[in-house]
């Protein structure tokens, strides 16, 4: 039977619960245990799919087509365990399921209440598909004391009793602020947060204390005394130079040892951290550096491109180089002349245009594509970035001056248009252009077939791939002949040959556009081949200038 680790946060938000959960899972995995991590989100959206990136950050997509919290990206990158729909649930999804059951009469006339119906649904989610695991880590979003999270805390309280002694551990992540005027770390916020959690029936077994200064033994002992945990179970969590240093840092502070002891398991030996030490060696001792210009729409919030940021770092790890990312707002290029665009992009050794929605910034991205193509600078277009590469090719090489996307409104030259029908593993999928926005895109893993002598087939080392998608617009194959006459080759297609997946320019140093999101599958110990190749091309470019 799987053991459960419940992770809550207190005092303030954004303390890094997701990163702590991912690091702890990696440490347990390094000791030979089978792990899975799950995220409970208290908000009422069914999923984050319709939320603005500025509200929620990146939407992480799983192989089975779930739109989930970005923390699931941390979980996958740190453990290599592919996340599933069953690994992320929101209050909205829980209530949606309960209301659907009530409307069907499944509750046989009973009054539907938070306890037991909502809490039972949360517990069922936590317990599902866990038979083959040693540990299940469940992270509760938000902060203890929030109204929204109360049903989840109550579900944890019930579940800990039902699982029995030795089958669950509670970890509470708090803040120990440093008051510079007093020159002291203050433990009172942590005490109050633990007291509030205990008042809800959940007593933490381990405390993870975020702090910007080292936590002295005296303060650790004080926290342990007032929070009813051993001093050794008060784990300091200082900022790290890289998120990939965090697993080793937590191990050095004894996190995995204390969690195992809380389960009554005496730790034996040391976890195998060799791959994490190798990653840090590559990050701390690079043999060069490159600058990648990311021309995006949501560059004001780094979390909007979290997986992309990490995948570029992974490409640097693969090539043992430091990757400097220049985040460029695409709107800056909307009304700029060529000389001003060149002044901003010339210092970049490579240019990347990521996914996005809507017309804002599109012209700036098209201008960036043209600059990369004409100056022979490595270019990587992802999802929307591939579509803009096709529109740029149609306008400037195909003679279609009005080439555009139906996403931007009516156009007589729809090089990119909405997709209303496609083939999936479950059969033909159909959508209406005026239908709901949530969960209606082409989502999840789809296969693609690559041309045998293409650049991308040599990068992947195969002609058959599977990648994750999140989009509702596609490049119109009616323009394929014209685009290929201009040198933009369709080198990857869906298995039925209907949907373009990859375009490339074989006569360019490195020019690839993909309709999918390869950043979602990249890991520090297994960098995605497209990002590894892209950064290698950027490194070659850096040696030319």
Catalytic residues: 383, 517, 519
Q: How many whole angstroms separate alpha carbon 301 and alpha carbon 310?
A: 15
Q: Within 10 Å of residue 494's Cβ, how many Cβ atoms? A: 18
Residue 323 dihedral angles phi and psi, to the nearest 5°: -105, 115
Sheet holding 404-405, edge to edge: 404-405, 414-418, 473-475
Q: What angle do CA 401, 403, 406 make, to 5 degrees?
A: 150
496 exposed, middle or buried (CB, 10 Å; 0-12, 13-18, 19+)?
exposed
User: Within its chain, how far is the Cα of 403 from the centroid?
Assistant: 33
Residues 87/21, Cβ–Cβ less than 8 Å: no
In the sheet with 322-329, reading across from the earlier edge strand, the strands are 322-329, 289-296, 350-353, 379-382, 511-514, 500-504, 489-493, 442-450, 464-471
Helix (H) or strand (E) holding 24: helix 17-30
Long-range contacts of 243-248 (CB under 8 A, 24+ apart): 243/19, 243/74, 244/276, 244/279, 244/280, 244/283, 244/524, 245/276, 245/280, 246/19, 246/20, 246/23, 247/23, 247/26, 247/27, 247/30, 247/78, 247/273, 247/276, 248/273, 248/276, 248/277, 248/280
Question: Residue 172: which H helix or E strand, with range?
Answer: strand 168-175
Distance CA 19, CA 267 (A): 22
What tokens were used for 305? 């491109």
| The two three-digit tokens of residue 273, written as one number | 């951290």
Contacts 24+ apart (CB under 8 A), 527-532: 527/311, 527/314, 527/315, 527/317, 527/318, 528/311, 528/314, 528/315, 529/459, 529/460, 529/461, 530/380, 530/456, 530/459, 530/460, 531/311, 531/312, 531/314, 531/315, 531/318, 532/314, 532/315, 532/318, 532/319
Nearest to 382 by CA among 496, 296, 509: 296
Identify the bridge partners of residue 296 per DSSP, sorted by sequence position.
329
Beta bridge partners, 237, equal: 210
């Amino acid at each position: 039977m799987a053991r459960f680790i419940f992770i809550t946060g207190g005092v303030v938000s954004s303390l890094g619960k997701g990163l702590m959960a991912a690091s702890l899972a990696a440490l347990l995995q390094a000791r030979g245990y089978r792990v899975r991590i799950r995220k409970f989100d208290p908000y009422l959206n069914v999923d984050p799919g319709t939320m603005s990136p500025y509200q929620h950050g990146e939407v992480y997509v799983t192989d089975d087509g779930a739109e989930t919290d970005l923390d699931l990206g941390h979980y996958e990158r740190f453990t290599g365990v592919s996340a599933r729909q069953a690994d992320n649930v929101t209050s909205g999804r829980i209530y949606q399921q309960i209301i659907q059951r009530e409307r069907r009469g499944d509750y046989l006339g009973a009054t539907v209440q938070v306890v037991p119906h909502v809490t039972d649904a949360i517990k069922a989610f936590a317990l599902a598909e866990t038979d083959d695991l040693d540990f299940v880590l469940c992270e509760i979003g938000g902060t203890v004391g929030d109204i929204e999270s109360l049903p989840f805390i109550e579900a944890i309280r019930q579940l800990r009793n039902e699982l029995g002694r030795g089958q669950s551990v509670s970890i509470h992540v708090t803040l120990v602020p440093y008051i510079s005027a007093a020159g002291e770390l203050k433990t009172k916020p942590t005490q109050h947060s633990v007291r509030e959690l205990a008042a809800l029936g959940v007593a933490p077994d381990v405390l993870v204390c975020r702090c910007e200064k080292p936590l002295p033994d005296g303060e650790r002992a004080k926290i342990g005394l007032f929070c009813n945990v051993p001093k050794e179970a008060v784990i300091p969590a200082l900022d790290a130079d890289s998120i990939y240093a965090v697993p080793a840092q937590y191990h050095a502070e004894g996190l995995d040892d204390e969690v195992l002891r809380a389960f009554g398991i005496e730790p034996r030996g040391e976890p195998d951290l060799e791959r994490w030490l190798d990653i840090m060696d590559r990050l701390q001792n690079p043999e060069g550096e490159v600058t990648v210009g990311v021309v995006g729409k949501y560059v004001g919030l780094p979390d909007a491109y979290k997986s992309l940021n990490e995948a570029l770092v992974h490409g640097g790890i693969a090539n043992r180089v430091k990757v400097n990312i220049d985040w460029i707002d695409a709107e800056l290029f909307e009304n700029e002349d060529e000389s001003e665009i060149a002044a901003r992009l010339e210092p970049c050794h490579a240019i990347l245009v990521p996914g996005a929605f809507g017309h804002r910034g599109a012209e700036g991205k098209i201008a960036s594509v043209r600059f990369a193509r004409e100056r022979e600078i490595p270019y990587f277009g992802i999802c929307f970035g591939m579509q803009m590469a096709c529109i740029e090719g149609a306008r400037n090489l195909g003679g279609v001056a009005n080439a555009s996307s139906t996403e931007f409104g009516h156009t007589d030259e729809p090089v990119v248009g909405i997709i209303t029908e496609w083939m999936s593993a479950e059969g033909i999928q159909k959508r209406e252009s005026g239908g709901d926005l949530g969960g209606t895109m082409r989502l999840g893993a789809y296969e693609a077939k690559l041309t045998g002598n293409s650049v991308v087939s040599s990068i992947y080392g195969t002609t058959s791939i599977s990648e994750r998608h999140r989009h509702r617009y596609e490049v119109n194959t009616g323009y394929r002949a014209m685009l290929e006459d201009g040198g933009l080759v369709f080198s990857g297609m869906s298995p039925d040959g209907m949907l373009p997946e990859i375009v490339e320019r074989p006569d360019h140093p490195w020019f690839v556009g993909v309709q999918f999101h390869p950043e979602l599958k990249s890991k520090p110990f297994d960098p995605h081949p497209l990002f590894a190749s892209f950064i290698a091309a950027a490194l070659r470019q850096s040696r030319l200038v």
